[in-house]
């Protein structure tokens, strides 16, 4: 969140697909909605059956742990030799569990189609990149939309007055909740099914174009 803090400096940010509320100004976690340890075990057990070649990583208390066969997408975790099985690192409630087909045999969409029924009633599963082979798993009931709705209600803001932009399935719940929501034109092909409008693609500064239009609206 360092770049976001530099750009805005105030307010609170919903992070981890809705699992964390972060105070930008004071740089501290305000609230978290974590995955209990027993649920983490239930998640890995269910997905190992549903997707036999799956591998896992887990984010716990600001640290990243991965299985040796899990290939990180970003630099985080590359210098960590990893554990044989993720369950060895699941010793405390987790912000998020990541599930990957490191061999790329399934796309994120294909993995999501399998994992959604497999994890029904256990956890919330989504993804943020259709061209990858990666799932992001949160506690049951936790999503960007659910946390955004909770924060708006606390502030006395109606859904009709909430503006949201998104490009992938991890944004869909937020797009459905917000009264004025835009799916990015170059985002996931299903985005328009969940948003009220479609914004120009990101390489045309689509978000900025819409914000400029909103600013010009009468109060």
Residue in 114, 121, 136 with CA at minimum distance from that of residue 59 = 136
Number of H helices, E strands in the chain: 6, 11
* 139/217 Cα distance (integer angstroms): 38
Every domain range in the chain assigned CATH 3.30.1240.10: 37-139
Threshold 0.85, pTM exceeds: yes
For 37-139, CATH gives: 3.30.1240.10
Question: Taking the CB of residue 218, how many other CB atoms lie within 10 A of it?
Answer: 3
Q: Note whether 177 and 159 are within 8 A (CB).
A: yes
Class of domain 143-219: alpha beta
Instruction: pLDDT tens for the chain, 219 residues: list them.
Output: 778 878 877 889 999 999 999 999 888 999 999 999 999 999 999 999 999 999 999 999 988 999 999 988 766 655 567 899 999 999 999 999 999 998 889 999 999 999 999 999 999 999 999 989 999 999 999 999 999 999 999 999 999 999 999 999 999 999 999 999 999 999 999 999 999 999 999 999 999 999 999 998 776
**Contact 182/199 with Cβ under 8 angstroms?**
yes
Q: CA-CA distance, 208 to 69, in Å (whole number)? A: 40
Residues facing residue 183 across a β-bridge: 166, 198
CATH 3.40.50.1000 residue spans of the chain: 143-219
pLDDT computed for residue 11 by the predictor: 87
């Amino acid at each position: 969140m360092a770049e976001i803090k530099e750009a805005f400096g105030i307010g609170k940010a919903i992070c981890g697909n809705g699992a964390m509320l972060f105070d930008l100004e004071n740089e501290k976690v305000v609230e978290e909605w974590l995955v209990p340890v027993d649920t983490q075990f239930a998640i890995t057990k269910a997905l190992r059956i549903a997707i036999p070649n799956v591998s896992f990583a887990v984010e716990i208390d600001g640290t990243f742990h991965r299985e040796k066969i899990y290939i990180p997408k970003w630099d985080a975790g590359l210098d960590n030799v990893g554990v044989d099985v993720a369950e060895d690192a699941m010793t405390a409630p987790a912000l998020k569990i990541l599930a990957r087909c490191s061999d790329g045999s399934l796309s994120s969409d294909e993995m999501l189609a399998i994992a959604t029924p497999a994890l029904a009633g256990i956890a919330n599963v989504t993804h943020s990149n259709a061209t990858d082979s990666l799932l992001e798993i949160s506690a049951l009931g936790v999503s960007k939309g659910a946390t955004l709705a909770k924060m708006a209600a606390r502030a006395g803001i109606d859904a009709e007055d909430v503006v949201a932009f998104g490009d992938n399935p991890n944004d869909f719940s937020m797009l459905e909740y917000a009264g004025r929501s835009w799916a990015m034109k170059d985002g996931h092909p299903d985005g328009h099914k969940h948003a009220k409008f479609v914004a120009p693609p990101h390489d045309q500064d689509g978000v900025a174009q819409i914000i400029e239009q909103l600013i010009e609206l009468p109060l």
